[in-house]
Amino acid sequence: MSQGASADGARATVPAPAPAPGPAKEQRVTRQRLAVSAVLDELTDFVSTQELHRILQDRGTSVSLATSYRILQSLSDEGLVDVLRNADGEAVYRRCAVTGHHHHLLCRACGKAVEVEAPAVEAWAARTATEHGFTVVEHTVEIFGLCPDCTARRAGK
């Protein structure tokens, strides 16, 4: 699904572009990096840098917004967090519960995310790329809908 309105008119979240490959840069373990990591470990849904910064401030942890952006980008570059773009184009982050390549089910209403493995999608992507002569292929698949709780709320249950 591309960015824009979905079939029911809701704005969807789209994957952020993958970081450019390159040599891994060793990161210093700072108080700020540990604080950001601790918050990410506690959250189950995606969070924007601004939201993360507010949580840190509410806890009395002094981390500037610019530092929060840098740390999240670094964690993303290292593959330690998933990053998507919301309907407004803002990057949102979440600690990966699954290591390795995976996809997400995302609730359009509450933002709940479920990590899923999809072997059929992997086979389809490889086959499609081969059929068209593409090599060094990457892909992202995000499935958008309403989670069971939001579906029940919408139905008035």
Tens-digit pLDDT profile for residues 78-135: 888 888 877 677 888 988 766 677 787 888 888 788 888 888 888 999 999 999 999 9
Output the domain CATH number for residue 121. 3.30.1490.190
- Whose CA is closest to 43, among 79, 99, 82? 82
- Whose CA is closest to 127, among 117, 137, 140? 137
Task: Indicate whether 109 and 133 sit together in one domain.
Answer: yes
pTM of the model: 0.59
Select from 52, 69, 96 the last residue of a domain. 96
- pLDDT score, position 95: 86
Task: Indicate whether 89 and 32 sit together in one domain.
Answer: yes
User: Which burial class, exposed, middle or buried, applies to 13 when counting CB atoms under 10 A from its CB (0-12, 13-18, 19+)?
Assistant: buried
Task: Indicate whether 37 and 72 sit together in one domain.
Answer: yes
Cα R_g (the chain), whole angstroms: 17
Q: Mention every residue, 6+ apart, whose C-beta is less than 8 A from residue 133.
A: none
Task: Give the range of the structural domain holding residue 150, as residue numbers without chain letter.
Answer: 100-157
Task: Indicate whether 114 and 73 sit together in one domain.
Answer: no
Res 141 pLDDT > 60: yes
Percent of the chain with pLDDT over 70: 80
